Structure 1
């Protein structure tokens, strides 16, 4: 199995503020898409994630090595979340290519935004687009 982080970039230039912050639960679950493609004839799962992280935290989130659990790929995006509700967020775009001998068996991706201190997480499940 192999994974490559192709991009890990803050994409907003000013602070991102939710229009209705009272409806947002922090940490915000990752927004994720996943689909198969075959660069150079190798079946690859492309995972794209958007993360909303407190704008006071300027350190890029990290990506743990994904784990296959049957037909599910489990991914963790790590960061250090302040326990206070943020006034504004930075929006991070992360793009990952994942390959393995059994990548074609995967039909869903479960991704977590994992706070390193204390260790907690907020996750979402998506179906892989064929």
Structure 2
């Protein structure tokens, strides 16, 4: 019973975080292509592109990830790059532990999601309602 309660509580905090992020800043989606129809990249720090959306879901830009071929430290390097773009929420298939810690240090939130960037954005925006 405690596990169920903790799981529900965790989901409430996650959804609250998604709502806050969608209301307050930009959403960066790690993507395999430059359009909202592109697949969410499996690994955040090495994604070919980041799609930047405002808090209401309006597409702003697609940016090349300058750290996609970094020899090491891609996660900790890409976080300040995304923060400079105004992102406070990052969506990707998976995140490395170093990137997660770097995002937490910047007050950024994250969501692991598999599917298209469009579907990921929809999930973030639905949490607002």
What is the TM-score when the length of structure 1 is the normalising length? 0.28
Name the structure with the higher helix share. Answer: 2
Greater RCO, 1 or 2 (C-alpha within 8 Å, sep 6+): 1
Name the structure with the higher strand share. Answer: 1
What is the TM-score when the length of structure 2 is the normalising length? 0.28
Q: Which has the larger radius of gyration?
A: 1
